[in-house]
Amino acid sequence: RATRSLHSAAAQRAGPSRAEPGCESSGSRQSPGRPSLTAMSFLRRLLWGATAGVGAAGAIDFWRQDERAFRTVFMPVVHRLLDGEDAHRLGVWAAKHKLFPRSTHRPAESMRVSLWDLHFDNPVGLAAGFDKNGEAVEGLARWGFGFVEIGSVTPLPQPGNPKPRVFRLPEDQAVINRYGFNSEGHEAVAKRLTQYRADESRTPCILGINLGKNKLSESAVDDFTQGVTKFAHMADYLVVNVSSPNTPGLRNLQARKELDELIVGVLSARDEACKGARKTPLLLKIAPDLTKQDKEDIASVVTSRHVDGLIVSNTTISRPETLKGASREEMGGLSGRPVRDLSTEVIGDMYKLTKGQVPIIGVGGIANGRDAYAKLRAGASLVQFYSAVTYHGPPLVKRIQRELEELIVKDGLTSVSEAVGAAAPQVDRVIASAARPGLASCGSMDPFFRIPDQARLPPVVQGAHTEAATTAAPSSASAGSGHSPFELR
């Protein structure tokens, strides 16, 4: 009897075990129009499944380095979440930590270039400005670049110009920056590159080091010679950058007298650093905003002083009327698609003025294989890009290489070097694969990139020399490149 009483009390507390026919307990009623719990659970699972599917597809596209996915999904998301400089820093950080998979594209043999005494696996390189402090050389080499140029590196650390200082113009596929040589300085970068060079497992990559001057420096010549001395043994080639519009007075060094004095100083420093050995190639990076006289003066100095090469060109201080981006009036250097044709024109001019005897690295507005090919035909032996990564991501490297290969085949050429200067037939072209004579390198420690001594050609091409030139270039004051409201002074 006691047991039955307990069971009866428990049953009353729990309520009826099942509803009577035609009746429904209040706890199981559903409000009109509301899906059942089973339907809600199904929808929730469907949503999670779709999210997981999209995530998996995105991960596959990322791992496969799908160019369309980067252009239409990944990069626009980054642009929505981050401003220009933060997105830039994220890219460097991701490359530093090797978060992007290694490129699976293998350039054809027709893409190989031999210049100075270096072997370039392909002619497509990364321009200076992306990795300013040599943080991510290994990660960038994995993207498939034929060479990577870091910098600009200044002697002393400096923060650069105030923020904000990077502005995207998506409608124009362009960027305006006024970084102002923000740099960690020679010592920090040299320490980092020493560690990089000591890593025997690193990806083979030709390394260029772009040198700058401190904003408050009293002597540009001293700043650049310090850079040459510091990095001559670490670089495969060195670059003297006198063309950034974001350091007051820097572009004045492109004037004939000032440029000649600078070139004499840096060549002397290079020769001293590499005494008794092959001299690390020294290149000059110039602006696109030059008068006819400026170009003639620069050509005269680099040929008479036997500068090893030119990089054409840096950002422009001009503002085409076709610009649509909201930030088009910001001060600084404009890069990307709007500078493409201007850069190609200057490449052609300098190729003709130097009679094809000074190798040129063409940079400015390259976003596909056709852009790169146009610069090669204008006179460039190698090409670089940077701004297009902002909109297309790392997969753009293999796309440019693939399209360039197709154009070479279409034109019936056997080597990319055969295209160099093809648009300037009146110039008696120097053999593009000519190597500089000399002894063992004092630059790169990568013998993989060195042309054997027996394969070297006579020292009559491509600015070849074993000692610094002593012939003085004619001097006269240049009008310079003038000033623009978009140039920092």
Least confident of 234-243, 334-343, 465-474: 465-474
Average pLDDT over residues 34-43: 68
Q: Are 169 and 336 in contact (CB under 8 A)?
A: yes
| Half-sphere exposure at residue 104, Cβ-oriented, CA atoms within 13 angstroms | 5
Question: Where does the pLDDT of residue 235 fall: very low under 50, low under 70, confident under 90, or very high at 90 and above?
Answer: very high
Does the pLDDT of residue 1 top 90, yes or no?
Answer: no
Closest-CA residue to 362 (of 354, 371, 22, 13): 371
Does the pLDDT of residue 429 top 90, yes or no?
Answer: no
Does the pLDDT of residue 416 top 90, yes or no?
Answer: yes
Rounded Cα distance between 332 and 487, Å, is: 6
**Residue recorded with tokens 């649509």:** 324
Helix (H) or strand (E) holding 94: helix 84-96
Does the pLDDT of residue 440 top 50, yes or no?
Answer: no
Least confident of 153-162, 180-189, 274-283, 345-354: 274-283
- Position 473 scores a pLDDT of 38
List phi, psi (to 5°) of 450.
Answer: -85, 135
- Position 61 scores a pLDDT of 65
Strand, coil or helix: 296:
helix
- pLDDT 10s digits, 255-265: 999 999 999 99
- Position 39 scores a pLDDT of 76
Q: Residues 152, 243, 244, 417: which is the catalytic one?
A: 244
Query: And the tokens for 83?
Result: 């401003």
Query: And the tokens for 459?
Result: 């020292």
Q: Are 388 and 75 in contact (CB under 8 A)?
A: no
- Position 434 scores a pLDDT of 41
Q: Are strands 147-153 and 206-211 parallel, antiparallel or unpaired?
A: parallel
List phi, psi (to 5°) of 217.
Answer: -65, 145
**Strand partners of residue 132:** none
Rounded Cα distance between 126 and 401, Å, is: 13
> DSSP letter string over 329-396?
T-SSEEEEGGGHHHHHHHHHHHHHHTTT-S-EEEESS--SHHHHHHHHHHT-SEEEE-TTHHHH-TTH
Query: Which one has a higher pLDDT value, 11 or 390?
Result: 390
Query: Which one has a higher pLDDT value, 274 or 22?
Result: 274
% of residues, the chain, pLDDT over 90: 72
Query: Which one has a higher pLDDT value, 99 or 53?
Result: 99
- Position 307 scores a pLDDT of 98
Averaged pLDDT of the chain: 85
Rounded Cα distance between 245 and 129, Å, is: 13
- Position 451 scores a pLDDT of 52
- Position 180 scores a pLDDT of 97
Q: Is 26 a catalytic residue?
A: no
Average pLDDT over residues 60-77: 85
The contacts of residue 368 (CB under 8 Å, 6+ apart) are 399, 400, 403
* Sign of the alpha-carbon dihedral angle for 452, 460, 229, 226: negative
- Position 466 scores a pLDDT of 35
- Position 3 scores a pLDDT of 53
Query: And the tokens for 107?
Result: 């350039």
* DSSP class of 135: S
- Position 268 scores a pLDDT of 98
List phi, psi (to 5°) of 283.
Answer: -115, 155
% of residues, the chain, pLDDT over 70: 77
pTM of the model: 0.82
Least confident of 50-59, 196-205, 285-294, 459-468: 459-468
Does the pLDDT of residue 363 top 50, yes or no?
Answer: yes
Question: Where does the pLDDT of residue 441 fall: very low under 50, low under 70, confident under 90, or very high at 90 and above?
Answer: very low
Does the pLDDT of residue 9 top 80, yes or no?
Answer: no
Question: Where does the pLDDT of residue 477 fall: very low under 50, low under 70, confident under 90, or very high at 90 and above?
Answer: very low
Closest-CA residue to 111 (of 421, 408, 434): 408
- Taking residue 292's Cβ as centre, other Cβ atoms within 10 Å add up to 9
Strand, coil or helix: 80:
helix
Does the pLDDT of residue 26 top 80, yes or no?
Answer: no
Rounded Cα distance between 481 and 483, Å, is: 7
| Half-sphere exposure at residue 311, Cβ-oriented, CA atoms within 13 angstroms | 29
- Position 50 scores a pLDDT of 66
Does the pLDDT of residue 206 top 60, yes or no?
Answer: yes
Rounded Cα distance between 265 and 1, Å, is: 113
- pLDDT 10s digits, 320-348: 999 999 999 999 999 999 999 999 999 99
- Position 58 scores a pLDDT of 65
